[in-house]
Chains A and B, each alone.
Chain A
Amino acid sequence: MPQGHAPILELRGITKAFGGVEALRGVDFALSAGEIHGLVGENGAGKSTLMKIIAGVHPEFSGRFLLDGQETRFRSARDARAAGIAMVHQELSVAPDLTVAENVFLGSQPTNRFGLVQWRRMAREAGEQLARFGIDVDPQSRLGDLPIGLQQLIEIARVLFSGARIIILDEPTSALSPPEVERLFTTLRRLRDEGTAIVFISHFIEDILRVSDTVTVFRNGRKVADAQAADTDKAALIEAMIGKGREALEETYTHDMALPPPNEQPVVLAANRLSLSRSLRDVSFEVRAGEVLGIYGFMGCGQLELARILFGKLRPDTGALAVAGDQKSFGSTAGARRAGIAFVPESRRAMLFHQEPVYKNISISILDRISSLFLKPSHERALAKRQVDQLQIRPAAVELDLGMLSGGNQQKVALAKWLNFPPRVLVLCEPTRGMDVGAKNDVIHIIRDLRAKGLAIIVLSTEPETVLSLADRIIVLKRGSVVREFADETISKDRLLEAA
């Protein structure tokens, strides 16, 4: 790293709030040409917010923003691009219906002097650029037909070859295979040597340590550590991320926790070597009655796909599921429900009917058990009322439109719909995400009660706290494979993070 250079980008005392909640508090940050700068921190630590300020996505903030020593304010992402700053966002932002070449040249198609697009030149140059990046793909093929990982690579390629002098990569490797990650790193190093400044955000700390020159750690909207990559290691970074020592009081789950020995109940659900294109590879696990299995991994590790296979929404390429010993292949979500699987997805919008009353939301998945041809509205309301009382859903009015309830109460309704006739297996994605402490505790208690009643429960989450507070046994998914199982041993948040 060329020391002594004046930074090309310097931020001082940046503070940014969203609706009264401070996402960044007085952060200083500097970036030099010819540097790869790694950023680490937990979800919500402020990394992405800071990068979006640099890329002009959030124009409102307080603090000083110096580009080449000049006080600068971007009004939009467009301004930032014009100043040579490009960003690959965490969420894929490609145009799936356009060709690969059109995506590579999105917004900057080569034109002739009549303003017409030079299609052949565009395809040729796109092919050349991608080949330099080690991607062998027909530039004329439709992007949406390619696997997600390849789409991500192409989006990265677009930004890397855009000629920007500051490049920000937010979590670029989550869907990539190891050789693809290797190629990405080679390209990043070459760009760095040519003088580009690169910011690299990742949950994968090994990746950060391997490719970065400098590492900055964020926690709770603050910059908490700054180091040369060569002078630090994974353990030190994790410690800085989750905050040990003086500040440990704020954190609940840094201490060691003992996972119980496996119970003696029968296996209710067994997954045997499930694979799904690029998302999952040979995933096997079992879950027993009266047990909560936690499945932990970073965003993009294959959790969402795994959950959808369990509920019959996706079909695995290979591998099988067995419910209570019987091989099952669910053709649909209805088939999974009949086999006794219940599912609560990570987004409430995907689960609930906001314009319908609470009782219809609760009864929807049991109507075929409580009525035949005709509905029985009074029975329906009575069963809904029972769940509303049991789960303490507030306000306790089953006629109320669901949209009038708070997020935490909506989440309880999402659980309630499965509980009048308890399923054999309950699959929960991010059951406590975005909830306040009270609602979170309520949901945790509900899940523990269900476990005590003998349900087999699978909790999938990207939040270590969620998994640690609920699970009896934890498997860790990394890039689609099970990399570690924790059972009958002591565990802590840093050990869990280290495994992922």
Chain B
Amino acid sequence: MATSEGVTGSSANQTPPRRLAAILRSQMRNIAPFLTLIFLSGFFAVASPSFATLDNVGNILTQVSVTGIIAVGLTFVILCAEIDLSIASIANVTGIAVAYFTMQDSYVNIANVPMPGWAAIGLALLLCALLGLVNALGLTVIGIPSFIMTLAMMQIAAGISALLVRGQIAYKVPGLITTLGSASIGGIPWIVIVAAVMLLGGHLVLTYTRFGRYVYMVGGNREAAEYSGLNVNLILGSVMVIAAVCAGIGGMLGVAHFGSAQQNEFDTYLLDSIAAVVVGGTSLFGGRGGIGNTIVGLFVLGVLNNGLDHVNIDSFLKILIRGLILLAALVINVYAQRLRAKTAD
């Protein structure tokens, strides 16, 4: 929630209650998801004695880690008012690639190319960066809307995955990936630490670097950014590559976490990561929000998924409830944008 929206003094001439109302209105995008999180946590804590335990908090953290890693890059993309639908597929193909370049047990029937661990990781990272670069070129040089461009990339990445594993399942990944994806240190899973570090890194980049400022400005008013002499295409291209690399890292650790690499393993992560970013309050119109919002969104989704398991609800109803919560978040997102636009006028 550490977004730096400078509202202090923006309504200096108003009476205190009106001023408070103005601040609340302009901060609605940050406040609403936070209230949702508190409400959901409270509800599940009362409804199930097993929910509010330290063990379960650890479970939730672990459960949202892969989504969290993928959502870091997606936050950059959505802040620029673009979208990336290929992240789950890129995560999948990167996870498969790192396994493909690792020696598998003899019963695994995949024509793989074993290499040293560092080379396998390097090649997998190169692959996701390249796919991100194709997204970037399609968006900026050719001018394909990101929605369509990444829809095509979703298929392309899924196609590469299919060709690499041909319906089989691989199990082995390099030791470093196995450790980061499935081991713990001092009781804390490494994957939680990686997610936390990447979220923190994303936050620092967005808040304290020049590039981060450009991301917000391009998202806030692309035309004005261009007429200020910014290289808008370079910034848009960069966020597409960042999103693909974050997805790739999430995919490699995810494969280690699940213990296998196979086709369609990450399909649910597309919706989850978009939901985390948007439920957290980052504006779909760009320029507003940030990693703080994404973290809140991750917890809202994590608490919801985990809590629904604890109250023993029909697993089919679970899907519907998740959809309804996402819809509610989108409504709030759009209204928050309008309220803020009104305050600015």
Contact = CB atoms under 8 A, between A and B. Distances in A.
B227 A399 contact: no
Contacts of B309: none
Interface residues of A, number: 37
Nearest to B216: A356
A332 to B, nearest CB: 6
Given A355-B287, A355-B340, A374 B229 contact: no
B226 interface: yes
Interface stretch (B6-14, B96-104, B169-177): B6-14
Interface string A327-369: 0000011101110001101000111111111001000110110
B231 interface: yes
A311 interface: yes
Contacts of B287: 353, 355
Interface string B91-118: 0000000000000000000000000000
A401 interface: yes
B6 A334 contact: no
Interface string B204-230: 000011111110110011011111111
B233 interface: yes
Given A355-B220, A356-B220, A375-B209, A401 B6 contact: yes
B19 to A, nearest CB: 13
Nearest to A402: B344
A371 interface: yes
Contacts of B217: 353, 356, 360, 364
Q: Give the most central of B10, B217, B229, B345: most A CB within 10 Å.
A: B229
A375 B213 contact: yes
Contacts of A397: 9, 12
B288 A367 contact: no
A357 B229 contact: no
Interface in A396-444: 397, 399-401, 403-404, 417
Contact of A374 (B210, B225, B227, B345): B210
B9 A332 contact: no
A375 B208 CA distance: 6
Nearest to A377: B208
Interface in A204-229: none
A399 B210 contact: no
A373 B231 CA distance: 16
Contact of A365 (B12, B209, B228): B228
A288 B199 CA distance: 51
Contact of B224 (A351, A357, A373, A375): A351
Contacts of B220: 353, 355-356
A364 B10 contact: no
Contacts of A355: 220, 287-288, 340-341, 344
Interface of B is mostly: helix
A399 B8 contact: yes
A367 B10 contact: no
Given A353-B217, A360-B213, A337 B229 contact: yes
B344 A403 contact: yes
A192 interface: no
B229 A333 contact: yes
A321 to B, nearest CB: 16
Given A367-B210, A374-B210, A357 B227 contact: no
A112 interface: no
B224 A352 contact: yes
B10, B211, B234 pick with most chain A CB within 10 angstroms: B10
Contacts of A142: none
A354 B220 CA distance: 9
A58 interface: no
Contact of B10 (A334, A353, A360, A404): A404
A343 B230 contact: no
A3 interface: no
A354 B344 CA distance: 7
Overall SS of chain A's interface: loop
A343 B227 contact: yes
A322 B71 CA distance: 46
Contacts of A252: none
A10 B229 CA distance: 53
A373 B227 contact: no
Contacts of A273: none
B10 A336 contact: no
Contacts of A401: 6-7, 10, 344
A372 interface: yes
A96 to B, nearest CB: 16
Nearest to A365: B228
B218 to A, nearest CB: 10
Nearest to B229: A337
Contacts of A373: 209-211
A313 interface: yes
A403 B10 CA distance: 10
B209 A350 contact: no
A241 B31 CA distance: 57
A355 to B, nearest CB: 5
Contacts of B7: 401
A11 B116 CA distance: 88
Given A353-B221, A371-B210, A404-B344, A333 B227 contact: yes
Given A374-B208, A400-B10, A417 B228 contact: yes
Contacts of B344: 354-355, 401, 403-404
Most buried by B among A350, A355, A417: A355
Interface string B224-268: 111111110110000000000000000000000000000000000
A367 B213 contact: yes
A333 B222 CA distance: 12
Contacts of B8: 399
Nearest to B230: A334
Given A364-B217, A399-B8, A351 B227 contact: yes
A364 B7 CA distance: 19
Contacts of A349: 221, 223-224
B5 to A, nearest CB: 9
Given A374-B208, A374-B209, A404-B344, A353 B233 contact: no
A352 to B, nearest CB: 6
A452 B216 CA distance: 36
A343 B223 CA distance: 13
Nearest to B8: A399
Contacts of B12: 397
A345 B12 CA distance: 31
Contacts of A332: 231, 233
Most buried by B among A337, A353, A368: A353
Given A342-B229, A354-B221, 12 more contacts: A332-B233, A333-B227, A334-B229, A337-B229, A352-B224, A353-B221, A353-B287, A356-B220, A375-B208, A399-B8, A401-B344, A403-B344
Interface of B: 6-10, 12, 208-214, 216-217, 220-221, 223-231, 233-234, 287-288, 340-341, 344-345
Report, nearest first, the 6 A-B pairs whose CB atoms are least far apart: A337-B229, A403-B344, A334-B231, A365-B228, A364-B228, A357-B6
25 contacts: A311-B227, A313-B226, A313-B227, A333-B226, A333-B228, A334-B229, A334-B231, A337-B228, A349-B221, A349-B224, A350-B227, A352-B224, A353-B220, A353-B221, A360-B213, A364-B217, A365-B228, A373-B210, A374-B209, A375-B208, A375-B210, A399-B10, A401-B7, A401-B10, A417-B228
